[in-house]
Amino acid sequence: MNEKDMNEEINGAADRSASKPKPLRKLTRIDSSRNIHENDDNPAHEAHPYQPQHEAPASHEYHGRYEAVEPVRGYRGKYEAEPSQEYRGAHEAEPSEEYQGRYAAEPQGNFSDADDDFYDDINLYDDDYRDKRHHDGKVVEKRSWTDVLVKTGSIAVSLILIFALVLNMPILWYKEKGQPNERVSIITYFKRWKPLVNVEGPLEKPTQDFNVNPDMITADYSDGLDLPQLVEGQYTVLFLGFDEEEYNTDVDWVCQFDIAGGKLNILQIPRDTALPDYTSNPTCKFNSIYTWGDQSITPIQRVVNAVQENFGIPIDAYVTTACFDIVDMVDLIGGIPITLDNEIVYEADKIIPAGNVTLSGEQAEWFIRFRHDWLQGDLGRVQNQRRFMAAAMNKLFDIVNNEGRVKLYSYLNTIYKNEWIATDMSVDDLSKLADFASTLSMENVTVNMVPGEGADYYDANGNRVSIYSVHKQATIDMLNEYFRPYQNPMTSSDTALVEYVTDYNYVGFDDTAATLDQMENATEPPRG
């Protein structure tokens, strides 16, 4: 039977069926939404509507006999890989999320109306927006140079703060001779570091009683100076200037800073002052104590002991220098302005002219060492050194007022680093004293010389020696008035001073107190 005959057969049967009525029977409605296998435990039997006998059960729309049914899972053929994203060809790289630049095409995504509004507000030439873009509904921001700088600055500040915290933590032990152990920070340790002390050595803590006045200084009294002090309220520095051979001391000053009283008192000790119990030199002069004193202690300690035991002045620290170092220090600060009544001829080719001059380093050395033309010899030199002292203090005030304290500290640091001095003070200690000195007025700086007179005596070998004999009682009176503001008055039994001349022939130096104001306008010592 061919296809045509089969079609006629089917059409004829259909016509015959339509002409003959069939009996009605009750049909059961099938609920396609109910799982007909609800009592079946097989999960593979899923609910589906009933399909007629000759209709293929399809989950997808039927497209005809010759039309391929689209696979449920998007099957694309034997040789085609199933992509997880849009396929771009065998030789096309998979798209990445990396930003391709401000002029690159934006990747496609699901954008909302809000995204369109966002891009409408973007100015590609604005620093705040040009590195922003939308991707997959998210804002991606590339860091600008400002962000980098802020972040870097924040990290740097944090590191600095951490470093400062460590530097200020009390983690180091510090021991100063005569003082108890103390835990200090790294900064404090280096502030107190005293590398120049190795030249002369540290000072021994004195055993003598300085007879502090309890009515003036109580146990809880403090003058505010952050330095160890033998007597609270004052700080005293011994200053020694050596000759070219660094053998004898040509300049011997005791500088007492009255912190509580706001004053500076300077005691000049003539180099020829006779202290026979403190030197083995036949001359028994003060300037020989450093070299010829007690050999069981350091040279600087010999001089300190002599000052404390003869003049009753507690020494807290010392500074020593040589005449050639004074040259460098004066040149460093630009010279010392001074007015000279007459020219000074130190040597034939070393002349300082009269009038208003600015002493260079070399001229300053000539000035403070010059003595042969003075009527009183070495006493004339001591008086002339006062004029230099007044001029140097004026220079100090000028530096502070015109250049600032920072500049002054810079000078001190340079002096310290170049080792133009030897001292048991740190640069921080020197700065504190210089800072205090810069606040003083001219009338609050007083200079005294040890009262006495020149005399001759014959040593054990019969040699005639010229010395400076101390006027003992006049010296005691001067010390009580100017150098013992927080101590009980000194008596004759409190000092080791020796008088060679008891029948005074000269009392002109018994009252030598002069302020810087007075010294600034003073004339030079009489010449011989």
Q: What is the pLDDT of residues 422-479, one digit of tens each?
A: 999 998 899 899 989 989 988 999 999 999 999 998 888 888 999 999 999 999 999 9
> Quick one: pLDDT at residue 345?
94
Instruction: For the beta carbon of residue 508, count every other beta carbon within 10 angstroms.
Output: 10
pLDDT over 70 at 89, yes or no: no
> Quick one: pLDDT at residue 226?
86
> Quick one: pLDDT at residue 459?
82
pLDDT over 70 at 230, yes or no: yes
CB neighbour list of residue 370: distance below 8 Å, 6 or more residues apart: 344, 346, 381, 384
pLDDT over 80 at 317, yes or no: yes
pLDDT level of residue 358 (50, 70, 90 thresholds): very high
Higher pLDDT, 338 or 99: 338
49-53, 171-175, 221-225, 269-273: range with highest mean pLDDT: 269-273
Which of 450, 446, 481, 213 lies closest to 310 in space, CA to CA?
A: 450
> Quick one: pLDDT at residue 64?
56
| Mean pLDDT, range 259-270, rounded to an integer | 96
pLDDT over 50 at 102, yes or no: no
pLDDT over 80 at 360, yes or no: yes
pLDDT over 60 at 315, yes or no: yes
Chain mean pLDDT for the chain:
79
Question: pTM of the prediction?
Answer: 0.68
> Quick one: pLDDT at residue 352?
96
DSSP secondary structure string for all residues of 360-413: -HHHHHHHHH--TTBTTTHHHHHHHHHHHHHHHHHHHHHHHHHT-HHHHHHHHH
Q: What is the pLDDT of residues 18-31, one digit of tens each?
A: 445 555 545 455 55
Give yes or no for a contact between 206 and 307, defined as CB atoms under 8 angstroms apart: no
> Quick one: pLDDT at residue 207?
87
Rounded-to-integer distance, Cα 407 and Cα 396, Å:
11
Domains in the chain (CATH in brackets) are 202-520 (3.40.630.190)
| Mean pLDDT, range 147-169, rounded to an integer | 77
Q: What is the pLDDT of residues 480-524, one digit of tens each?
A: 999 999 999 999 999 999 999 888 988 988 989 999 888 877 888
> Quick one: pLDDT at residue 104?
47
Q: What is the pLDDT of residues 170-200, one digit of tens each?
A: 655 555 655 666 665 655 655 566 789 989 9
pLDDT level of residue 57 (50, 70, 90 thresholds): low
Residue type, 489: P
Rounded-to-integer distance, Cα 81 and Cα 441, Å:
98
Burial of 368 (C-beta count, 10 Å sphere; 0-12/13-18/19+):
buried
CB neighbour list of residue 118: distance below 8 Å, 6 or more residues apart: 134, 139
pLDDT over 80 at 106, yes or no: no
